[in-house]
Amino acid sequence: MRSRRQDALLSPTPDHYFVAVLREYGHRHGWLRHHAWTALLKLGWRRHLQSVDWQRVERCLFACQGNICRSPYAEHRARCLGIDAISFGIETTPGRRAASTAVRVAARRGVDLTNHRSRSAEDLAIAASDLVIAMEPRQLSALLPLARASGGQLTLLGLWCLPIRPVLEDPYGLSETYFQKCFSVIDDALFKIRGRISGTVSDELVVRAATV
């Protein structure tokens, strides 16, 4: 029989759960946002985000807040996978380098961000054949007018991985462990997006063709 000390060592503690939350979601608010937005999606919130006409997609435009962590990694990984891609920041100063932790962690995953420089939406010409991809729901209000004005489509990156991840928290200033998790989610979504663009993947997330 196990002793009480052994039971205590083997039983999860609040600290264990907190460490797991940091590793998986970056921080407590990330965990809360993930579950809140997941519940809204199950209730049918913005169902059109899950309805992409992949036959129209010629380029993926990845957007995040500063264009120095998530979207640069997504852009360069997508290019490694043969997807025409570019990235930009919703609130950024053009010309910034990728965050040092992002560069370091990306390099371990075979992605080179050393030459990346941030850009804003004003630096791009968005076309009807573009798919604008946000990292989290709160970015949609800024991106929706851009997609509508160009006739392009809009979605969330985390809707295209399994299990779905509607909120991909900004890893800037967080641990390398969370950077690894964040980039792993991006990789998963991009492998599936590549399959949809090439017409080799179809699953329950593809509901019907629809534009923004």
Domain assignment present for 210? no
- Using CA atoms in the order 13, 16, 18, 22, what is the torsion angle rounded to 10 degrees? -170
Domain assignment present for 208? no
d(CA 23, CA 3): 30
203 conformational bin, left if phi > 0, alpha if psi -120 to 50, beta if neither = beta
CATH number of 86's domain: 3.40.50.2300
**Across the strands, what pairs with 67?**
none
Question: What pLDDT is recorded for position 8?
Answer: 44
Ordered mean pLDDT values, 10 residues apiece, the chain (212 residues): 47 62 78 90 88 95 97 98 97 95 98 97 94 96 94 96 93 95 97 90 41 34
Domain assignment present for 211? no
**pTM: predicted TM-score of the whole model, two decimal places:** 0.85
Domain assignment present for 27? yes
Domain assignment present for 84? yes
Domain assignment present for 37? yes
**Domain count of the fold of the chain:** 1
Domain assignment present for 59? yes
d(CA 81, CA 127): 21
CB 155, CB 49: distance < 8 Å = yes
Question: What pLDDT is recorded for position 127?
Answer: 95
Residue 160 structural domain:
4-198
Question: What pLDDT is recorded for position 89?
Answer: 97
Peptide bond into 171 cis (omega under 30): no
